[in-house]
Structure 1
Amino acid sequence: MVPASARAQEADEPLSGDQTIIVTGYRASLESAVGEKLRSEQIVESISAEDIGKLPDASIAESIARLPGLTSQRVNGRSNAISIRGFAPDFSTTLLNGREQTSTGDNRAVEYDQYPSEIVNAVNVYKTPMASLIGQGLSGTVDMRTIRPLDTGKRVVSVGARGTYTDQGKLNAGSRDKGYRFNALYVDQFANDTLGIALGASYLNEPYQVEEFNAWGYADTDSGEKVIGGSKSYVTSTTLKRMGFNGTLQWRPSPNFTSTFDGFYSDFKDDQYKRGIELPLYWSSATLDDGSTASDGLITQGSFSDVKGVLRNDVFQRHAKLYSFGWNNAWKGDDGWSAMADVSYSRTDRNELVVETYSGTGRSGEGATDTIGFTSSSKGTTFTHQLDYSDYDLIKLTSPQGWGGTQVAADGTTITGGQDGYYNNRKINDELWQFRVEVGKELSGGPFSSLQAGWNYTTRSKSLVPEEYFLGLADNTDGTVSVTIPEYARMGTTNLSYLGLGPMVAYDPLKLLDAGVYNLVANPYGDVVVKAYAIREKIMTAYTQANIDADVGSAVLTGNVGVQANWTDQNSKGATAVYLGTNANGSPDIGASARNESTGYLDVLPSLNLSLRFPSDFVIRFAAAREIIRPRLDDMRASLSWGYTITGDVAQVTGSSGNPDLRPWRANALDLTFEKYFARKGYVAAQFYWKDLKSYIYNLDVTVPTSSLALPSPGDGITISDTAQLNIPINGKGGKLYGVELATTLPFDAFVDALEGFGVTGSVAYTKTRITPTPGGAAEDLPGYSKWVVNGTGYFEKAGFNMRGSVRYRSTFVGEVSGFGASRVRRRAAEEMIVDGQIGYDFQPGSPLEGLSLYVQGQNLTDEPFITANPGDSRQVIDYQSYGRRFLAGFTYKF
């Protein structure tokens, strides 16, 4: 008897041997994704490469962000992280060939620009878990799949290249507006198709240009209106370089046994130059002049006198090397028994260097000041000025505001008259080992088609070590010297006309460092030490799963039911700030004592996936599960820092700490979907989901006795309060999240033959949250949550010609942006709509150029900005970032 699931899906099974068909084209990729969705026993969204080694979009993240219920946040103009069903990237996990991966970010979320799109053959996004899925997330699980050479069935050699142009131009001196990418892929089989190999390489060297406005915030004036407190705005020029290699070796000496080895390596370099003028305004010694214009509580136009601008020439370098290896051995016996063993290793070594350098008209209290006019609107603030910031005779290396005061290092090196810059080097190492075994047995004569049971052990360690220094001019021996910018470091000027500030001096900070222009004075304060952490997790998982395959009248019921048991042992090492006396600067000398804490817990995760499949290709799916995602790594750090707020003669103590005892986010989830398929190449679906967050991690102020802290004297006549308020992340109650996704892929020729080649694919997702983590507090939005997410692509493809346009919309959300020292801060982002397009031509069989494909792409065609603002007033803009349009032209050639 033919199993029921096979009868339901036999039309979608791939052919084998000489019958293997490799389909090409965007329509074929959609059909493949539709087939994957139909066959899956989970609620899944898929992307299939439109050709071997080529995804439909320029990056993996952009492709994934078009799937129903998914979206992305742009960073420096590119999508590199994914939100699923209203949850931030930290709530999902990413696998490569079914294996967990380390991250180039500070936490768990994988940044997809580490993975060349050319190495990925398919991506599956599982919105519901099952017991045999290891490393599952709370919002979903993204599984990137590379090519299996023995399944390809023929030799494939493919090469490609593309050029890139950004219409923002060369914003910084020495930057570029053009870039390129090369890639190559080789797939072959040997020894009577018992040995297969796939080798791929990709190199990318592309620029990104950003015009950024950033406000310090908005201050309350004596008249009751708000006004901009200060501005720190830049033009940022990025050169993104990435060398990626991947390889797969498969050995199948018999039909019953397959051994597969995968390797992936990425060398990633994100180098930025940021140049701009920081303008201390209301929150400084500058004066708000009379005659300002106010509207609805905000001063929208006016001027400040006695402004001492700080010219910034900063460098940000983010370098990472990612290694990933896996070895899988699978055996399937003729008697229905099967076994699998898998071992994998993933490692990321990342280094982030931020160098800030300051210049201006003179050291604090000296030099010319400026009168700055300003106009604030929903597009940020623009300025007028009097000084010429491009004059190398006027602008010198110095500390215009005297920030930092006097600093004395342990070796006696001294900075006086304020710091002239800052040096922050963050070293992050992330390592993960995973071991897994599984056995299975096929069954007959009942509702269960097979049983499987397995064991998995994962150990992960991630550490951060900060190195922070004040920069002081070596020639500034008496605290009064400003230094002329050396000729060898000058790079002309950078134009800030978009801010109204005109050109400014541009120089290379790294050349000044190498030449010894600056002394590096180690930051002596304990808040640097407490940023460091080392976290180790050991997770042992046992699971069992029964797979369902049964006739229900004329329909077929398939699916699975199972349970995972996760034993977690987590350890966190950090530091607690400790008072050591008074340092040479006359300030409290804060050291740190080691802190090492461990905890363990057990999670039991049942799951159920059911699919009722009707002969008319109508499918009803139901899923229920207990879901978890482990805490953010920076929330788990074992660290404690504090400070004083003096009111009268009493010093109130406040501080912050990580929480090594944190438990995961936990949720109970239900899903119900209705899917109708058309000719096995199109579908419409309504997907309903509901999550009850039983545990929510949020920050809370807790009270502790100050006697438990090693505190210095706050000053003569001032006493320390009996208690301290510490802000720490804790596990609390959560709330509800629910929504609906309407999705479709419709090739028009499924209904009208005359419309062959035309079609649409897209989705509308609505998500509602009721999250109240603080008892009695107001409802809050989850990070990354957008109420509305809309994706749509219209396409035409016939006789080699192809054309498509895509729109991606998301409503307002809480996003993460880069703060001081490359730290991440959360801000409310405005809604955005991204428009992309592509046209191309594939030379057809019989043509002398058969196998050649040409294409032109346009990204962000409407130049949609990224905007954050204070809640309640869109004119109080904090960030306004313009990325410009990107145009790409390239080819692939397969032979």
Structure 2
Amino acid sequence: MLNFKPSKLTLAILSTGLMAVSSSSFAYAQENQATDDNKKEAEVEVIEVRGFRGSIIESINTKRFSSEVVESISAEDIGKLPDSSIAESIARLPGLTAQRLDGRASRVSIRGFGENESGTTFNGREQVSISDNRGVEFDLYPSEIMSGVTVYKTPSASLEAEGIAGIVDMQTVKPLGQDERVIQFNGSLEQTSFDKLNPDGNDAGFRGTFSYMDKFADDTIGVAFAYSTMSSPNQEKRWNSWGYPEFTYEDGSQGSILGGAKPFVRSSTLDRDSMMLVVEAAPSENLHMTFDALYVDFSDEKILRGIEIPFAWGQGSISGETATIDPASGFVTSAITEGQRVVVRNDYEERKAELTSFGFNSVYDLNDTWQIEFDASYSQVDRDIWSIESYSGTGRGDGRGVADNLGYTFDGGNTGAQFSHELDYGDFNLIQLGGPLSWGWSSALNAKHGVVGTEYENQLQDGFINAPSIDDELTALKLAATHDLDNDVFASVEFGASYREREKTKDSEGYFMTLSSFDYPSNPGMLVVPEQYREGTANLDFIGMGDMIAYDTNGLIKDGYYDLLAESLTNPSHSTQSWTVQEKVTSAFIQGNIDMEVGDLPLTGNVGVRYVKSKQSSQGSAFNTVDGLIVTSPTDISHDYSHVLPSLNLSLRIDDQQTLRFGAAKTISRARLDEMNASVNASYNQQPDQNGNHWSVSGGNPALEPKEAIGLDLSYENYFSDEGYFSFALFNKELSEWIFDGTFEVDMTGVADPSTGQVPSNSTATGNGKVNGGEGSLWGYEVSLSFPFKMIDESLDGFGLIASHTAVESDLKDQNDNEYELPGLSDKIQSLTFYYEKDGFQARASMRKRGDFKGDVYGLGFSTAQVDILGETIWDAQIGYDFGEAGIGSLKGLSIFFQAQNLTEEPFTSLQGENALQVRDYQDYGSTYLLGFSYKL
């Protein structure tokens, strides 16, 4: 029987990231080994193809010889991936795309599913996340210290993470697989196409990486170390609306108008320092051990300046004579509001995160047929956000200070509106610190400053600070064994058990800012910005508002110019957004690895089943309001469940080039963590509801269970050269137990009625929140091609293209039979890369395109909000020159490159409603340019 499995030598070569093996080499080696098992292993012809083309060949071989349906990217050497994060690299893979966050690819979707429906692993181990939920924000992970990424579109029983969409596995290098010692330096300078939009912002940055790999003790110990640092600037012009209230015209027809807008300019700098260490040891032929560690220190600092412009929701008067109405939709496309006061904003935000990850893996060969594996890992991330809003204007409150006459005009595109104005918002004498509108209706704030019942009541919010924090911690253990078999169906059987424990805590808090100089009644007014905190002006010509004052908000707070008061005293939202969720997952699996013949055709793959037992619990608070203040009592709710997850992967080799694949599996995606928290708003009613309950609660649901899917995959793959392949795939997923809004029962045993202090005899409550239910389907097809132009003519050697197209449809309904659109689903996804690489010269241009979709963004208080996002097409390009590959011996090891990201300055646009004029957000980031080098000793 033909043994169609790569040899150990072949697998070692594939794992190094340094060499690629041609398809003909595989066939030659395997057939000779099969003919005579007593002969020495056939010599494998290794073709050293480096650079981008080498990475293409390696990725193709990873896809070709995997038992599962996978996509992969690989770096020729550590530090060769040019993108700023892993997300930008994998977003170009077939069926994958990314959602941008502040101009950078961050959240990854697989075949129409959002980031919360996929699992993410690092060297095969599940990862924590800096977001509020499970979805990993990949901009935390630098591409410079990774050797590659494999995306599993179909699962196998031995994979540790769960996800309906798939599993994204990031990998580090294996130092024992390297041929020689490597010492490498990478560096680049970065520049944005926009000049800095804020006077104290940055428009230039840098990146640098040092990596070292070597082997010792007769090649039994290998060490790889990498340090990467980055200071990356980003600029943004943003048009943001408050909303579009609807109204009825005199003739009874419906219309809508701009409620208000919050446009601004942003200058941000992402600073990231990363360290990776891999120690690999093979003290004997039977024992192999690997230890890896990753540390990432991440800080994203943002300076935002703009003007909040109330319109229909403001105090001004709107004359119908100035209004222009779109007859098709009834939307007021232009109007003027007279006597309007605005809020001049000088905001500052800092998002800090610190990731630590450790892993240890040991594989021991008991004998020729038995192998034991032990794996232990720990990962933890802390994330803190300090987001400051600072207000200024012409006078405190709604009725003081100079008002303006403001107009707006929508130009018919998705770019928002242009404004007209009469005041000079760059005048420090006119625009002063303080709250120009009556915001912040806090009884505690009024009482603190002694203005209850006065004309200054509810006029003391001079700014606001959002300060949510996340702590996510995960520990995992795994013990598994592999037994080689000698039969005509299975080459081996794997089985094992694992345990992982995760705890994620979110603390939500906000603070009202009031000028320390405020003193009622002696000094209730505004404050001129002190000279030492003035930064000049920020230009808002892109919305027609001219210059506005710019000052150092963070400095004013640090130096005591504001008093702070916790919003949680009177606002219950922080109680429902603060929680701890714990998960304890015990798994067991058995998997048979298939190696057989069907009609003289080799059939490989695996069949297995995974049993998953989960116990989840959440601690939070139930709250009520007594005398205007929030009263909370602790909650602690547990729930457990189990799943049996069978899987099958088959790969039928038709000939040396063609392969048919089939995959079938049951998969799960766990509920979002913020949806399964135990923090609720609880109220006790004297009259029972329709369910017979006196208690009513709203908030999270700790009893949520995972969404389920039964997936089928069928694909045809043709590997027509070492650098080229064609693939066509069909996929379908039957979805059930999805999560929608609904009602559920909550145990309130022991919880006292806040108004009486007594524990009611009825201990159940009607909960309003997320529930499992509904069902539907998702289906689609995928076409991908890698084509080297040398197949047309040898004179075109070095030219090539990589292209893919994915089409997805879904039909999902909730428990009430209402249609539901999956977050992250674009009906079409395309990617295209043209490249040329030969004799040291490298050039490539890449495009990724996706259709409209629903995506998650940060809403009020940094809670997750879902919005409609327009599709986008993003072009990147890179040229480079490797002096060693060009034959310049004196400069061997040196290469240079120039890269341009978002060449066409594609904006990020989200809408509010079906009217294309009703823009929620229009974000213009410009382009980013990098000039860099790599030098290997």
Same fold judged by TM-score > 0.5? yes
* Alpha-carbon separation, structure 1, partners of 2:4 and 2:70: 21
3-state DSSP of counterpart to 1:408: helix
Structure 1 residues 643 and 373, CA gap change in structure 2 (3 angstroms): farther
Name the CA distance, whole Å, in 1 between partners of 2:862 and 2:442: 24
Cα separation, 2, equivalents of 1:414 and 1:273 = 33
- Relative distance call for 1:454 and 1:445 in structure 2 (3 A) is same
**Alignment CA distance shift 1:324-1:420 (3 Å):** same
How far apart are residue 19 of structure 1 and its match?
8.9
Name 2:17's counterpart in structure 1.
none
1:669 pairs with 711, 730, 743, which one? 711
Alignment partner of 1:46 is 2:75: no
Amino acid at match of 1:309: V
1:245 to 269, 275, 279: 275
Structure 1 635/667 Cα, relative in aligned 2: closer, same or farther at 3 Å? same
Structure 2 residue aligned with 1:538: 584
SS at match of 1:335: coil
| 8 A contact 1:102–1:432 mirrored in 2 | yes
Asked whether 1:878 is paired with 2:920, we answer yes
Matching residue within 136, 160, 176 for 2:162:
136
Amino acid at match of 2:105: S
Give the Cα–Cα distance (whole angstroms) in 1 for the partners of residues 336 and 728 of structure 2.
55
Q: How does 1:63-212 map to 2 (within 5 A)?
A: 63-212=89-238
Matching residue within 377, 392, 403 for 2:439? 403
Following superposition, the deviation at residue 579 of structure 1 comes to 2.9
Indicate if the aligned counterparts of 1:23 and 1:51 stay in contact, CA closer than 8 A.
no
- Counterpart of 1:528 (choices 563, 566, 574) is 574
Q: 1:846 to 1:173 in 2, by over 3 A?
A: closer
Deviations 1:504-560 (A, max 9, x none): 111111111112111111221232222210011000000000000012233210000
For the pair 1:219 / 2:245, whether they are aligned, the reply is yes
User: What are the residue-to-residue correspondences of 1:364-763 with 2, within 5 Å?
Assistant: 364=397, 365-376=399-410, 377-378=412-413, 379-405=415-441, 407-408=443-444, 412=448, 416=457, 417-478=459-520, 480-523=524-567, 524-525=569-570, 526-580=572-626, 582=627, 588-641=628-681, 656-700=698-742, 727-763=768-804
List alignment gaps of at least 5 residues for structure 2: 8-22, 31-40, 452-456, 685-693, 757-763
Give the match for residue 863 of structure 1: 905
Tell me, yes or no, if the aligned pair for 1:685 and 1:743 is still in contact at 8 Å.
yes
- In 2: Cα distance, 1:370 partner to 1:697 partner: 47
Note the C-alpha offset of 1:154: 1.4
Asked whether the equivalents of residues 395 and 505 of structure 1 are also in contact (C-alpha less than 8 Å), the reply is yes
- What is the letter of the counterpart of residue 91 of structure 2? A
Q: Would you tell me which structure has more strand in proportion to its own residues?
A: 1
Number of positions where the alignment pairs a residue of Structure 1 with one of Structure 2: 873
Mapped to 1, the partners of 2:822 and 2:730 lie a distance apart of 19
- Describe the SS at the equivalent of 1:739: strand
AA at the equivalent of 1:887: Y
Deviation at residue 280 of structure 1 after TM alignment: 1.3
Give, in whole Å, the separation in 2 of the partners of 1:635 and 1:773: 17
**Helix, strand or coil at the partner of 1:284:** coil
- CA drift of 1:24 comes to 1.6
Could you tell me how far apart the structure 2 residues matched to 1:530 and 1:251 are?
A: 49
Q: Give the direction of change, closer, same or farther, for the CA distance of 1:406–1:635 in structure 2 (3 Å limit).
A: closer
Contact 1:154 1:189 survives alignment (8 Å): yes
User: Is residue 49–residue 56 contact of structure 1 (8 Å, CA) maintained in 2?
Assistant: no
For residues 567-614 of structure 1, what are the alpha-carbon distances to aligned partners after superposition, in whole Å with 9 as ceiling and x for unaligned? 10100011112232x2xxxxx322211111001001110000000012
Aligned residue type for 2:790: D
TM-aligned CA deviation for residue 834 of structure 1? 0.5
CA contact (8 A) 2:725 2:787 kept: yes
**Structure 2 SS opposite 1:808:** strand
- What is the match of residue 14 of structure 2? none
Cα distance in 1 for residues equivalent to 2:169 and 2:133: 18
Question: What is the CA distance between 1:848 and its match in structure 2?
Answer: 1.2
Aligned residue in 2 for 1:294:
325
Q: Structure 1 residues 32-41 or 488-497, which shifts more?
A: 488-497
1:706: how far off?
Answer: 13
Per the alignment, residue 328 of structure 1 pairs with 361
Distance in 2 (alpha carbons) for counterparts of 1:846 and 1:859: 30
- Partner Cα separation in structure 1 for residue 213 and residue 427 of structure 2: 58
- Contact 1:20/1:153 (8 A) holds in 2: no
Query: How far apart, CA to CA, are the structure 2 residues paired with 1:870 and 1:352?
Result: 27
Q: Offset at 1:754? A: 2.2
- After superposition, give the CA deviation of every residue in 1:80-122 in whole Å (9 maximum; x if it has no partner): 1100010110111111111111111111111111111111111
After superposition, give the CA deviation of every residue in 1:335-382 in whole Å (9 maximum; x if it has no partner): 211010010000001111111111100011100111111012322111
In structure 2, which of residues 877, 885, 895 is the aligned counterpart of residue 853 of structure 1?
A: 895
Q: 1-side partners of 2:423 and 2:225: how far apart?
A: 58
Cα deviation, residue 333, structure 1 = 4.0
Unaligned runs of 5+ in 1: 583-587, 645-651, 714-722
| Offset, 1:241 | 0.1
TM superposition shift of 1:463 = 0.2
Q: Tell which deviates more after alignment, 507-516 or 817-826.
A: 817-826
Aligned mates of 1:338, 1:414 — CA distance in 2:
74
SS in 2 for 1:225: strand
Q: What is the TM-score normalised by the length of structure 1?
A: 0.94
Partner of 1:265: 295
Q: Distance in 2 between matches of 1:578 and 1:315?
A: 33
Secondary structure of the equivalent of 1:848? helix
Q: Give runs of aligned pairs for residues 349-364 of structure 1, distance below 5 A.
A: 349-364=382-397
Alignment partners' CA distance in 2, 1:434 and 1:22 = 38
Which residue, out of 326, 341, 344, partners 1:308? 341
Query: How far apart are 1:679 and its partner, in Å?
Result: 2.0
Which string of whole-angstrom CA distances, capped at 9 and with x for unpartnered residues, describes residues 640-689 of structure 1?
12799xxxxxxx99973110000001111110000011123211001110
TM-score, L = length of structure 2: 0.90
Pick which of 330-339 and 300-309 moved more: 330-339
Offset at residue 44 of structure 1 (A) = 0.1
Deviation at 1:289, TM superposition (A): 2.1
The Cα of 1:51 is off from its aligned counterpart by 3.1
The code of the aligned residue for 1:570 comes to: Q
Give the letter aligned to residue 434 of structure 2: T
Secondary structure at 2:738's aligned position in 1?
A: strand
Does the 8 A contact of 1:539 with 1:568 survive in 2?
yes
Residue matched to 2:3 = 3
Matches within 5 A, 1:811-830: 811-830=851-870
Closer, same or farther: CA 278–642 of 1 in aligned 2, 3 Å: farther
Give the aligned partner of residue 841 of structure 2.
801
Instruction: Please say if residues 860 and 885 of structure 1, whose CA atoms lie closer than 8 Å, have aligned partners that are also in contact.
Output: yes
The more displaced of 377-386 and 841-850 is 841-850
Calculate percent identity across the aligned residue pairs.
Answer: 40
Whether the aligned pair in 2 keeps the contact of 1:406 and 1:418 (CA below 8 Å) is no
Give the Cα separation in 2 of the matches to 1:627 and 1:141: 11
Q: What corresponds to 2:11 in structure 1?
A: none
Report the CA distance shift for 1:9/1:664 in structure 2 as closer, same or farther (over 3 A): farther
What's the CA shift for 1:800? Answer: 0.9
Contact 2:812/2:821 (<8 A) preserved:
yes
